[in-house]
Amino acid sequence: MTKKPGIYGPDDPEAQAILKVLRGAYEKQAEEFGRAEPRADDGSLAVVAWNAVVLGHPNRFESMRETGEFAHRVAELMRLNGHIRPEASPYAGAMLAGLLSYLWSTQNVMYLDPEFARGQAGAVSELIKDINQNWSPPDGKPWFAAIRSFPSHVKTGLNKVQKQTYENVYKVLKPIISEFGETAIRSLVAVGKAHPQALPGATAYVCGVLIEQNVYSPLDGSVPEDMDKALTEAFLSVERDNEARYYPYLMRGFESVRNRQFDELDRWRIEDR
């Protein structure tokens, strides 16, 4: 079906009118409640988590490679500041990539409410608590058996794709990479059934592995471009159900926001709206 000119995108006057109204509403909200802005690093976990959440808005990291690199820098900063145990270092970067990617995807593109950012930063802090308690290291934990081999499984599959000739590569590329998502979902279902308390961390790790392994760029040619697309599709097939999987992190992370006591200025703002 061919799109009619002027109905979609910037040439659509009705869509632009709606966007103008939305922008005005969000600008008013920003004037009343402020904007979520990066904070000067004071070495605290709260500030590092806040900045990690805020710096991803709006859609700042365009590729999974950029997301993975940023998450590993955050993990290293947290380790240097003493917030992540050294034994958890092999897992923390991937887990932060998995959770941050999800959190960024749920942010309002036009306006990031500071209270929403505070709740998301709280969810990041909950992940760090989980990492230190259960991933330092996770060897020997009963739930880890279900996901232990996932990174090597993905690497093996990608190596097999890369070794193909150009004539054969498209025969195996899509089936192999699509299976990564299926394996991830099966593994998370197994963890959720047998060890539900471990599901949020396992989800962050599995999703983070898919992000880490996607180092392919369209600039490198048609095959890397299609590998990037296939890995992104596999990742999204897992992430679409992550709100429920991350629920414990989100519930505890947003607790301070839900229970916040309003001051007189807050009450005035609410009553004036």
How many domains is the chain built from? 2
- pLDDT, one tens digit for every residue, the chain (273 residues): 334 344 445 566 665 555 454 455 445 555 565 688 999 999 999 999 999 999 999 888 989 999 999 999 999 999 999 999 999 999 999 999 999 999 999 999 888 999 999 999 999 999 999 999 999 999 999 999 999 999 999 999 999 999 999 999 999 999 999 999 999 999 999 999 999 999 999 999 999 999 999 999 988 999 999 999 999 999 999 999 999 999 999 999 999 888 865 554 454 443 443
**Residue 83, in any domain of the structure:** yes
Q: Is residue 48 located within the same domain as residue 72?
A: yes
Q: Is residue 104 located within the same domain as residue 232?
A: no
pTM for the model stands at: 0.85
**Residue 22, in any domain of the structure:** no
Q: Is residue 46 located within the same domain as residue 105?
A: yes
Q: Is residue 158 located within the same domain as residue 208?
A: yes
Q: Is residue 82 located within the same domain as residue 116?
A: yes
**Residue 173, in any domain of the structure:** yes
Q: Is residue 175 located within the same domain as residue 43?
A: no
Domain with 215 in it: 142-245
Q: Per-residue DSSP letters for the chain?
A: -PPPTTTSGGG-HHHHHHHHHHHHHHHHHHHHH---------S-HHHHHHHHHHTTTTT---SHHHHHHHHHHHHHHHHHTTSS-GGGHHHHHHHHHHHHHHHHHTS-SS---HHHHHHHHHHHHHHHHHHHHH-SS-TT-GGGGGTTTHHHHHHHHHHHHHTS-HHHHHHHHHHHHHHHHHHHHHHHHHHHHH-GGGHHHHHHHHHHHHHHH----GGG-HHHHHHHHHHHHHHHHHHTTHHHHTHHHHHHHTHHHHTPPP-HHHHHHHHH-
**Residue 79, in any domain of the structure:** yes
Q: Is residue 118 located within the same domain as residue 82?
A: yes
Q: Is residue 192 located within the same domain as residue 211?
A: yes
